[in-house]
Amino acid sequence: MTALVTVELVEHAPAVSHPLPDVLGRALADSDIVAAAPDPYAAGHWQLKAGSKVGAVQVSAPGVDHAVTIRVTPKVAIPRLFFLLGYSLDPGASWRAGEVDVAAHRELMPALAHAVERQIDRALRQGLLQGYRVAEETALVVRGRNRHTDQMRRHFGATLPVEVAYDEFTADIAENRILRAAVERLLSMPGVPHEVRRRLLHQRVRLADISPLVRGHPLPEWRPTRLNARCHQALHLSRAVLDGTSAEHLPGGLRIDGFLFDMNQLFEDFVTTALRETLRDTPLTARLQDPHHLDDDSRIRMRPDFVLYGSDGAPAAVADAKYKAEKRGGFPDADLYQMLAYCTALHLPEGHLIYAKGNAPHAAHRIRGSGIVIHQHALDLDQPPEHLLSDIARLSRALAGRRGDQPRLRIRE
């Protein structure tokens, strides 16, 4: 029987030394999960250091008598992390009203499994969602629409059987398929508490007649509507589970399986989404990951996180979100160079860098020879959601403040 060894790490904390077989240590070193290197002071030990990815992964290899589970705890409290995630996925949902109760869990994996199961339970209390989907089949009677191309290709002009397509009213639709896939994925992962696993098994029974997704295929598309409104939060969280989980087979039979959140991406998604929401009812237009070029020949690409356009269509402000460990002497200089390039290419006199906490709430630098001012803002994520959104509103006013038509900003509650 393979023994399971668990290594507990904290996001951006100092490295810890742990005994590991070389094959597993090298697998971690080759991955982008944690930084791993042989410990020069202890034979058979590896120094492991977590970066900005949080969650849990399990690494195993054939012929090795134990597997290792790496658990990375975020520095942000679990309820705060789920608020960032929920708001990024659906700003209009009531993520602050106790809908996702994760305060009892100190680790990400148990909290995530609990939140997904509770949301799916709420979504399915009235029964499975039903809708229309296009069905295609070979039939002996005409039903719906003839598929003439398939008829000629498969039956060479014969009258029967008939290739038909029709709209079928069924529960086997994209929404329920995504929910089932999330339930099954969570059931396959380590770290799910026994009680939560029991409730997930109950949800799998509810979804037993739904077609499973094929691994490796893209997730089915769904659109939020009034008819599937009760499933929105469950679907958003389920999509986060399926996007963040991986089962990767490496050379030599190595396997890495688990769930990870990239805090860099999560912070960027939250900041840009919240900024866009505060400006939604204004004459200004916000574009996320807006593509531009630095040079006249359009060879040097750049993609600022957030570009604000005025009613005249010209760029009005630019911002980048940077979730990273603090530098001892201040914010990283490379970020300033990047923002200077954005301001130069967009012909803007100011640029804004937004960090997750920092050495100071605000700093400003006037660039010699250009007059460009680069602002560095720090958001404290360890505060109530309403205070955090108020800080975002102040940032929006800073971005829009140079224009004469400064908008009246709002926060979506």
pLDDT tens for 309-362 read 998 999 999 999 998 755 555 556 889 999 999 999 999 999 999 999 765 678
The CATH code of domain 3-74 reads 2.60.40
C-alpha–C-alpha distance, residues 67 and 253, integer Å: 13
Q: Select the more confidently predicted residue: 30 or 34.
A: 34
Pseudo-torsion of CA 302, 304, 309, 314, nearest 10°?
Answer: -30
Of 179-188, 204-213, 241-250, 360-369, where does mean pLDDT reach its minimum?
Answer: 241-250
| Residue 244 contacts residue 261 (beta carbons within 8 Å) | yes
Asked whether 115 and 142 are in contact (CB, 8 A), the reply is no
Lowest-pLDDT range of 138-147, 199-208, 387-396: 138-147
Between these two residues, 61 and 34, which has the higher pLDDT value? Answer: 34
Q: Which residues, including other chains, have CB under 8 Å from residue 285's CB and lie 6 or more apart?
A: 308, 309
Where helices occur in 245-327 by DSSP H, the ranges are: 263-278
pLDDT at 269: 95
pTM for this model (two decimals): 0.81
Residue 132's pLDDT band (cuts 50, 70, 90): confident
Give the model's confidence band at 403: pLDDT under 50 very low, under 70 low, under 90 confident, else very high.
very low
Given a cut of 70, whether residue 251 has pLDDT beyond it is: no
CA distance 361 to 81: 21
Residues 78-128 pLDDT 10s: 888 989 988 998 887 655 544 556 656 677 888 889 989 999 999 999 999
Q: For residue 244, what pLDDT band results from cuts at 50, 70 and 90? A: confident
3-state secondary structure of 213: coil
The residues with which 145 forms a beta bridge, in sequence order, are: 165
Residue 409's pLDDT is 44
Question: pLDDT band for position 406 (50/70/90)?
Answer: very low
Q: How does residue 3 score in pLDDT terms, banded at 50, 70 and 90?
A: low
| Choice between 141 and 89, residue whose per-residue pLDDT is larger | 89
Q: What is the pLDDT of residues 160-181, one digit of tens each?
A: 566 556 566 788 899 999 999 9
By CB neighbour count within 10 A (0-12 exposed, 13-18 middle, 19+ buried), where does 341 fall? middle
Res 288: pLDDT: 95
Q: What pLDDT was estimated at residue 163?
A: 59
Neighbours of 236 (CB within 10 A): 19
What local confidence, expressed as pLDDT, does residue 210 receive?
93
Task: Give the mean pLDDT of the chain.
Answer: 83
What 3-state class would DSSP assign to 88? helix
Q: Supply the pLDDT for residue 360.
A: 64
Q: Of 3-7, 127-131, 207-211, which gets the smallest average pLDDT?
A: 3-7
What is the pLDDT at residue 203? Answer: 96
- What's at 199, amino acid-wise? R
Per domain, the residue ranges of the chain are: 3-74, 78-129+172-245, 131-170, 279-400
Q: What is the pLDDT of residue 97?
A: 44
Distance of alpha carbon 104 from alpha carbon 74, whole angstroms:
15
The DSSP bridge partners found for residue 10 are: 73
The arithmetic mean of pLDDT across residues 207-231, rounded, is 88
